[in-house]
A and B are shown apart, each in its own frame.
Chain A
Amino acid sequence: MHKISIAKDFSSTPGFRLISEGPYSGEEFRKSKLDPLFKDLADTTPIEINLDGVAGYATSFLEEAFGGLARMYGVEVCMKRLKFRSDEEPLLPKEIEGYIRNSVKK
């Protein structure tokens, strides 16, 4: 299983949606951390994403990172491979899954 801790591997203060809007954006996270793990379409290794340890997430960050990923690789693939963990904000995994499921509507 691949493991990504957003606070340790990316930033403890994630930014907003696009790279043009400032550092540590959702787009930057998707391109630098998630895309490389999804490039190989045959790879089905689960990816555990630890969401704890950050100051807070903007909807725009989460939607761009995970909703954007679902738009590229499909909702089913993302739902199957991504496992979210958050002890600090138990509502977050549900929120992100909502962005993934609704990604096609964007």
Chain B
Amino acid sequence: MKIIFSLLLLGCAMLLGVYAGMQVVGRGILPTAFWDMKFIQIFDIAVSITLAVGVTAVITKQLNYSLKQRELVAGCITEYEGALCRVYDSYSTYTRSPNKEQAQEILRLHKATSNSLTIMLSVLKTVGRNNKSETHENCYLRLKGATTDSPFGLDKKPVVDTARLDKIDTAFCEARKELVAQKLALYR
């Protein structure tokens, strides 16, 4: 509706311009040869310019929308990535000084991360880029399993062994790798 109104307004402005030009010619300010065109030609030019401006406006609007949409999706991915990093950092703290409070903190962070993942997946679904939902979920569940499966919640060292740390690192890297691929796919 707004676009149609703008186009009409632009058309009116062009016709007013033509009228003003004719008045200028009528008063002899410009030579008559300058306006030696038929009205239909002037109308053609006016319509062409109006359409060109209209189409440009529509395309610009679409591009802006698409760009904003990508920014929103990228923002959600970044937020989820940040949540994953907080879990990973928190687990590092726990391995250095294991205690039940720190273990509960990891669980709290996992809840926030899970929420963040759900939001990210729902946004990806909205923009039709949810073909890797299962992969993201599995990556997250692997990291959750690696960090909070037994032995977990014990407050005596050692709480982890090298194999477990490797498992956590692998799960964390895989999850991030998938997120980077997802982000890159947005701009293809």
Comparing B22-30, B49-57, B108-116, the segment that makes contact with chain A is B108-116
Interface centre among B137, B140, B147, B149 (most CB of A within 10 A): B149
Chain A interface residue count, Cβ-Cβ cutoff 8 angstroms: 22
> Secondary structure of the B side of the interface?
helix
> Secondary structure of the A side of the interface?
loop
Chain B interface residue count, Cβ-Cβ cutoff 8 angstroms: 25
* A58 x B153 contact (CB < 8 A): yes
What is the bound-complex CA distance between A3 and B146, given in angstroms?
31
* A56 x B104 contact (CB < 8 A): yes
User: When each residue 99-111 of chain B gets 1 if its CB lies under 8 Å from chain A and 0 otherwise, what string results?
Assistant: 0100110111111
* B153 x A60 contact (CB < 8 A): yes
Cβ–Cβ < 8 Å partners of B147 in chain A? 59
What is the bound-complex CA distance between A57 and B100, given in angstroms?
13
Interface status of B145 (Cβ within 8 A of chain A):
yes
Comparing A12-20, A41-49, A69-77, the segment that makes contact with chain B is A12-20
Cβ-defined partner of A91 (8 Å) among B103, B104, B118, B152: B118
What is the bound-complex CA distance between A18 and B154, given in angstroms?
11
* A59 x B153 contact (CB < 8 A): no
Interface status of A21 (Cβ within 8 A of chain B):
yes
* A91 x B150 contact (CB < 8 A): no
Interface centre among B100, B111, B153 (most CB of A within 10 A): B153
* A59 x B145 contact (CB < 8 A): yes
Determine how close the nearest CB of chain A comes to the CB of B60; give it in whole angstroms.
37
Residues on B facing A (Cβ under 8 Å): 100, 103-104, 106-111, 114-115, 117-118, 137, 140-141, 144-145, 147-150, 152-154
18 additional A-B pairs beyond A21-B150, A59-B152, beta carbons within 8 Å, are A17-B153, A18-B150, A22-B153, A55-B104, A55-B111, A56-B104, A56-B106, A56-B107, A57-B110, A58-B149, A58-B152, A58-B153, A59-B147, A63-B149, A89-B118, A91-B114, A91-B137, A91-B140
Q: Can you list 13 contacts pairing A with B, beta carbon distance less than 8 Å?
A: A13-B104, A16-B153, A16-B154, A21-B153, A56-B104, A56-B106, A56-B107, A57-B111, A58-B107, A59-B144, A59-B145, A60-B149, A63-B149
